[in-house]
Chain A
Amino acid sequence: MNRVESEYRRLAATKDQSRIPKLGTTLPAMHAFWAAIPETGARYNVSVLHFTPDRIENLDGMCKGYADLETLRASMVSAGFAIPPLSASLTSSGATLRWKSVDWVPGIVAEEQP
């Protein structure tokens, strides 16, 4: 009896998903991000990009202009990233690209905010 119970506990502890804490993975959000990058039509540079499970923690970079920023944002929104309305500033080298704590909701297109 003890051996059977012990075997059950060992298996339940390592395989029963309802018992095991979920930590998540960055892979799905990373895949969604890279797949959503517009191949043409937007000119931008990303200097820092930080993923945590189901979220872009931080993205820093520059776009050539506001239109490029909006193209990139529209692609990401359609991939499920909840990017808030733009707040960017124009510098001599282009428009700043700065997103913080952007949640990724799989399969759901983030709604455009007015």
Chain B
Amino acid sequence: MKRSVSVPVFSLTALATIACMLAWLHLVESAAAARDAAENLARIEAYEAQILVLRNLDSNAHLVGEQPTEATGAWVELAKSAGISEKQLIEINRLPLSKIEKTAYSRDDVFIRLDAVTAEQVVKFCLLCSNASFSYSPLSVQFSATRASVAEGKLETWNTTLVLTRILYTATNET
């Protein structure tokens, strides 16, 4: 009789112990999950604050594949806006992307040759290219005097070669 009572008591105690252990484990897991969630929330809030700041800044580089594509016609239009005719824009040549060492960025260069233009037209063209949606800056500008500019009384004109550049972000899996 005594033995038959102690068996269920023992079983109940064992079950209660197991339940308590499971509950404890669950509690520990829940606490860890809550900690993770709180940390994630803090990180998201930090990212959100930085994203809001960054969104208000001008872009200084373009994402490769997402940059605005500029057709030859866009260059011709920019030149015309600077007072340079299509006949004076004698070469537009996109150079291969060149990786900037030890960075996740590349240079996207365009070589342009202008025939018999004034310095004012060149500067205006460079400014328009810098401010255009595809945003190229002059990295090299070389003026060579034309024969006409040497003659007295003539407006100074130059045969000009330009290398315009912009920076592309070319890393694919930056961490």
Contacts and interface: CB of A to CB of B under 8 A. Distances in A.
Interface of A: 1, 4-5, 7-17, 20-21, 23-27, 30-31, 34, 45-53, 57-58
Consensus secondary structure, chain B interface:
mixed
B143 interface: yes
Contact of A1 (B44, B61, B126): B44
A23 B138 CA distance: 10
B40 interface: yes
Interface centre among A4, A12, A13, A24 (most CB of B within 10 A): A13
B139 A48 contact: no
Interface residues of B, number: 42
Contacts of A17: 57, 60
B104 A13 contact: yes
Contact of B63 (A1, A14, A25, A49): A14
A31 B130 CA distance: 15
Interface in B16-48: 40, 43-44, 47-48
Contacts of A16: 54, 57
Contact of B61 (A5, A8, A13, A58): A13
Interface string B156-175: 00100000010101010010
Given A13-B174, A14-B63, A15-B60, A27 B145 contact: no
A27 B60 CA distance: 16
Contacts of B169: 13-14
B145 A9 contact: no
